Structure 1
Amino acid sequence: MQPTPTANHVGLWSKVLAEMELSISGANFKTWFKDTYIDKQEDGTVYLAVPNPFVKTWLLDKFHKTILRSLRNFDENIRAIEYFVTKDDNKKKAEQAPQKQVAPTKELPLADFYINKDDNLNPRYTFENLVVGSFNELAYAASQAIIKKPGIVYNPLLIYGDTGRGKTHLIQAVGNHIKATNKNKKVFYLTSEKFALDYISSVHDPQKINSFKEKYRKYDVLIMDDIQFLAGKEKSQEELFHLFNNLYDNNKQIIFSSDKHPNYIPNLENRLRSRFAAGMIVDIAAPDQESRAAIVRAKTIHHNLNLSPEIIDYIATSVDSNIRELEGTMNSIICQAELRAKDLNISDIKNIIKGSAKPKKAVSVLDVVKIVAGFYNIEEDSLCKNCLL
């Protein structure tokens, strides 16, 4: 039976946690500092209890100096930190696991996974399960500013980046947070394709077109995904322009996402580009190896999956295309671990990745020529007159 932390230990660690919460993102704070506490303090050493080996490794590698500095701010006698995994927590989880499997009458929280038809928001997209790293920290910071003052700062906000980088997760997290903290604000999420289809279905009926115009103007926060699909749709762009002006003039928050910067979306009206530029345009880059490793660790913690640090680094290095593919690979690994009812080794992981990850495609010279010619709208032959392919 582990000793109960004293009131002094609880108070000291509460002060440290308060400082840490101010210095890092809320998602990272909850991922790495939840269920941690000071177990004891002896001879200038603080013994910090953590829930699992992954948190121990991450705190030691990424936050050790910051934690030690914060501890010393409150107690100059502290010289070192020892991290250890709490065995009681692991035992408790093991004892509880069979009970979850044999409870057929227990009702699952299915409501937590249904998309609300009133606002189209997916409840799974929250800031709590969003991993923040160097690849998305600017977009995350902008979203945090918005949830504090919706419609006032960074309006509109446009987040762009290649597919699978977490744009939809982030913009819906904004909607879910505002919905939860501002009950009087109406939030609505849709794709640009749905917007265009709604317009097309109403254009031939005067009553429907008026209903269409009013439908989206009643919301306090409008979130539109994948605006690149409006390229070339002149009438839909015109309706979006008028809707934008109405919402903006009434201090309603507008959030967009796109797979590229609006300046590089072909056949997009300049007046829309200028409206986007009036707010905040920020990109989400490809996640680096460290951020991918953090995503993998967060998944293992959430599903109570035991993977060694070497395996986590291997996954993060091998699946480097985008977050969506990384999460798909992790889902396969989690499924295999549950089916086999045992910890997976590096050989198992390699076979799973080989079977689930998309093979990397080599880029040929002809591919480069085709892309360059298409970008500059010139003939491919004009690039190859004096070269051998």
Structure 2
Amino acid sequence: MTTKEMWKAVLGEIELQISKPNFLTWLKQSQLIEKDNEKGKVVVGLPNNFAKEWVKNRYHKLILGSLRNIDSAVKEVDYVVMSNKSQGSKVKSPKKSRKEMEKTSLESQDSLIETKVDSKTNLNPRYTLDTFVVGSSNELAYAAVQAVINNVGMKYNPLFIYGKVGLGKTHLIQATGNKLVKNSKNKASVLYVTSEKFINDVVWAIRNKRMEDVKKKYRDINVLIIDDIQFIGGKTATEQEFFHTFNALYEQNKQIILSSDRPPAAIPTLEERLRSRFEGGMVADISYPDYETRLAILKSKAQANNWSVDEKITEAIAAKVQKNIRELEGVLNKVVFYQDFKNEKIDIKKLEKIIGETSEVSSKNVTVKDIIRIVANFFEVKESDIERRSRKKEMVQPRQISMYLMRDVLKMSYPNIGEKLGKRDHTTVIHAVEKISRKVNEDSTLNQKIMLIKEQLYK
């Protein structure tokens, strides 16, 4: 039996044991490169490093078992990346691949260390003012931030930044926090939280009669940064505690920075006394970026990640995606994904298809059931476990991704998503969606998973 015949038999066995999308995605392009009968070792080639790591970590036992069913002398399986030019004709040697893998592993660990959220401040160090692209759409907010940095607590307090989803508010306010920490040589006590976190802390304190703990946490700091403050509107106990926290910080000239998807006057359920305080400082908006800013954002992201993207493609993305920076970066991510992961050439026609897939999918074509089914197939779990209140650890990410996709693709409300997935509280859904939204731009593995799931969804 030749290596080609052997691998065909192995794939035939594996295909019966995993979902079709996963088989087509991870194993269809694989090859059995080498078989050492003396050592009982085989070498499996994959098209890229991401596929290599995924197959090795997820399907190794299955592959080894299938190989041993055909040849009991097989004891070891090594995985390598095949060359892009001719998969199968040239491969990186196992020895070299191992060194490269170790190097990649170290680089990945360094990357994780660099982007790890600070446990004291909750700030992500990847958000810096140096990487924030300034243009006409955000120059007022950026100027206000600079004024705050130069005169903490004394000018523009509170600083209230608002704008639609995906325009860079979180980047700017976290970058401000990081700059303040750096300027103080880590002496300034800065705390960044989402409004959801603040709400949860208040609810926990009320239930456990530990309100003094919450007061200490939020008042014994120099700078308080709260993201998406609009969500506290209508929550009486939370609004009351925030009102007193706000006053305590303000009276001590401690800086307060808030973000929202709308100006204070447009938050209908917000108490008038809070609205008045929000409007008492500096209110700055971030609007849709112009073409030059969009192009600068794309070039900055490509440079930061060492991505090589054709200039014409970058310019076309900037011209066609106009209203959302996350969508802008999402299209760029997908272009690189098709280039590097699938080795596909990107032209304008292909780009238009990518933009169509990345922007909006009509709810007439995609349903909640579609999302649950495809996510379940991808992770090889039961659809019912995603829908119900299963407490299995392996269900956390599939369920959170399902929530994220329902929000991102179908534009469903948080309460509606919670109702569809085990009648969960809307705050649980908000947490899941915000977590995935945040991590998808930090974690390349998660980003690839969601892209692969969306690709199946669009089909």
Deviation, 1:168, is 0.5
Tell me what 1:246 maps to. Answer: 248
CA distance in 1, matches of 2:218, 2:147: 24
Tell me what 1:167 maps to. Answer: 169
Tell me what 1:105 maps to. Answer: 102
- Paired AA for residue 228 in structure 1: Q
Residues 216-225 or 307-316, more deviating: 307-316
Aligned residues, how many?
263
Listed as ranges, the gaps of 5+ residues in structure 2 are 1-95, 364-459
Tell me what 1:200 maps to. Answer: 203
| Correspondence list, 1:148-159, <5 A | 148-159=150-161
- Paired AA for residue 191 in structure 2: F
- Paired AA for residue 137 in structure 1: E
| Correspondence list, 1:193-342, <5 A | 193-206=196-209, 208-340=210-342
- Paired AA for residue 239 in structure 2: Q
CA distance in 1, matches of 2:362, 2:265: 29
CA distance in 2, matches of 1:331, 1:101: 27
- Check whether the contact 1:154–1:280 (CA below 8 A) recurs between aligned residues: yes
Identity across aligned pairs (percent)? 45
Tell me what 2:120 maps to. Answer: 118
CA distance in 2, matches of 1:118, 1:317: 40
CA distance in 1, matches of 2:139, 2:97: 37
Tell me what 1:132 maps to. Answer: 134
- Check whether the contact 1:192–1:227 (CA below 8 A) recurs between aligned residues: yes
Q: TM-score, normalised by structure 2?
A: 0.54
- Check whether the contact 1:333–1:352 (CA below 8 A) recurs between aligned residues: yes
Q: 1:317 to 1:164 in 2, by over 3 A?
A: same
Tell me what 1:82 maps to. Answer: none
1:188 and 2:191 aligned: yes
Q: 1:351 to 1:205 in 2, by over 3 A?
A: closer
Q: 1:255 to 1:134 in 2, by over 3 A?
A: same
Deviation, 1:288, is 1.6
- Paired AA for residue 264 in structure 2: P
CA distance in 2, matches of 1:190, 1:133: 27
Aligned-residue Cα RMSD (Å) equals: 2.3
CA distance in 2, matches of 1:158, 1:360: 34
Tell me what 2:92 maps to. Answer: none
CA distance in 2, matches of 1:170, 1:359: 29
- Check whether the contact 1:307–1:344 (CA below 8 A) recurs between aligned residues: no
Residues 306-315 or 250-259, more deviating: 306-315
CA distance in 1, matches of 2:98, 2:359: 31
CA distance in 1, matches of 2:320, 2:98: 33
CA distance in 2, matches of 1:335, 1:215: 42
Tell me what 1:75 maps to. Answer: none
- Check whether the contact 1:303–1:334 (CA below 8 A) recurs between aligned residues: no
- Paired AA for residue 353 in structure 1: I
- Check whether the contact 2:159–2:258 (CA below 8 A) recurs between aligned residues: yes
Q: 1:299 to 1:101 in 2, by over 3 A?
A: farther
**RCO higher in structure (CA 8 A, sep ≥6):** 1
- Check whether the contact 2:123–2:177 (CA below 8 A) recurs between aligned residues: yes
- Check whether the contact 2:338–2:344 (CA below 8 A) recurs between aligned residues: no
- Paired AA for residue 199 in structure 2: A
Deviation, 1:102, is 4.9
Deviation, 1:335, is 1.9
3-state SS of paired residue (2:226): strand
Deviation, 1:130, is 1.0
Listed as ranges, the gaps of 5+ residues in structure 1 are 1-98, 362-389
Q: 1:338 to 1:175 in 2, by over 3 A?
A: same
3-state SS of paired residue (1:257): strand
3-state SS of paired residue (1:224): strand
Q: 1:306 to 1:201 in 2, by over 3 A?
A: closer
Deviation, 1:226, is 0.6
| Correspondence list, 1:327-366, <5 A | 327-340=329-342, 344-359=346-361
Deviation, 1:341, is 5.2
- Paired AA for residue 159 in structure 1: I
- Check whether the contact 2:309–2:336 (CA below 8 A) recurs between aligned residues: no
Q: 1:253 to 1:360 in 2, by over 3 A?
A: farther
- Check whether the contact 1:307–1:343 (CA below 8 A) recurs between aligned residues: no
Deviation, 1:267, is 1.7
Deviation, 1:134, is 0.6
CA distance in 1, matches of 2:203, 2:248: 20
3-state SS of paired residue (2:101): coil
Q: 1:250 to 1:357 in 2, by over 3 A?
A: same
| Correspondence list, 1:74-89, <5 A | none
